[in-house]
Amino acid sequence: MTNKYMYFIANWKMYGNLSSLNTLNKIIKFSKSKEINKGRLIYCPPYTLISAFSKKFKNCQIGIGGQNCHESISYGPYTGSVNAKMLKNIGAHFVIIGHSENREKGENDKLINLKIKNALLAKLKVIFCIGETLTQKKKKKTEFVLSKQIKVGLNSVKNKSNIFIAYEPVWSIGTGVVPKSKDLFKTINFIKSKFKDKSPKVFYGGSVNPQNINDLKEINNIDGFLIGGASQNTKKFIDIVKKTYT
């Protein structure tokens, strides 16, 4: 059981449409109840829904984020792209950067670094995703990979007070497999040890669900969860928060 201030971030990926707005009534009600305890809820829907979510959450404490942004801070001829300023303008407070689903498509650490710097300039808080693939894990390269992702991704980012790190092992995303508790504790500590002064808060993401949250919540160096599949089901998402605090 924990009594800590914890973040619960719903990453909806490429799911949802206008009718999904109806499913949010339950979470709004929950966010105003005592049961939320010290949980901080953040929704990251697809770009198309950010504005509508932001209006829907107008009178409650639920945060809104984008799932990515373009690396340029100014407008430009970049078909299909959205930058951090545009996200801020439609009501986002956060942005996920460096998700492995985007790294897979070619986003490298340098590009991620540029995105992070420009997102901070646009006054967004950044949820910076890092994590190793299964092959890297098998080759015992996890710490090497994470160190490089942190070093390059946060290169010349002096003020880290608006950075959150999400450790998402690629082999755990959408697979139902989560790392062993003792391994996860060790990796989160390793990530925190990379920061000389104060470490950013570190979240865990990868197959978090109402069944495994009882074990995950016992890992006391985790500051929150980035939740994909289970977050699209409001009941499951609420269950995860409730179980964290019981």
Tokens of 179: 């790392």
How many Å apart are CA 54 and CA 138, to the nearest integer? Answer: 42
Which of the stretches 28-36, 141-149, 180-188, 201-209 binds ligand 13P when contact is defined by CB under 6 A? Answer: 201-209
Nearer to ligand 13P, 207 or 244 (CB): 207
Per the annotation, the verdict on 143 as an active-site residue is no
Give the interface size with ligand 13P as a residue count (CB under 6 A): 14
Burial of 155 (0-12, 13-18, 19+ CB in 10 A): middle
Site membership for ligand 13P, residue 207 (CB under 6 A):
yes
Per the annotation, the verdict on 99 as an active-site residue is yes
Which of the stretches 75-83, 108-116, 166-174, 196-204 binds ligand 13P when contact is defined by CB under 6 A? Answer: 166-174
How many Å apart are CA 177 and CA 172, to the nearest integer? Answer: 5
Site membership for ligand 13P, residue 132 (CB under 6 A):
no
Instruction: With CA atoms as reference, report the closest residue to 57 among 29, 19, 87.
Output: 29
Nearer to ligand 13P, 64 or 85 (CB): 64
Contacts of 34 (CB under 8 A, 6+ apart): none
Query: What Å distances lie between residue 91 and 41, 49, 71, 167, CA to CA?
Result: 15, 11, 19, 26
Site membership for ligand 13P, residue 174 (CB under 6 A):
yes
Q: What are phi and psi of 237, to 5 degrees?
A: -65, -45
Site membership for ligand 13P, residue 226 (CB under 6 A):
yes
Nearer to ligand 13P, 14 or 18 (CB): 14
The amino acid occupying position 76 is: G
Judged by CB under 6 A, the residue of 71, 132, 168, 223 near ligand 13P is 168
| Catalytic residue, candidates 70, 71, 99, 132 | 99
How near is the Cβ of 74 to ligand 13P at its closest, in Å? 28
- Sites of contact with ligand 13P (CB under 6 A): 11, 99, 168, 173-174, 205-208, 226-230
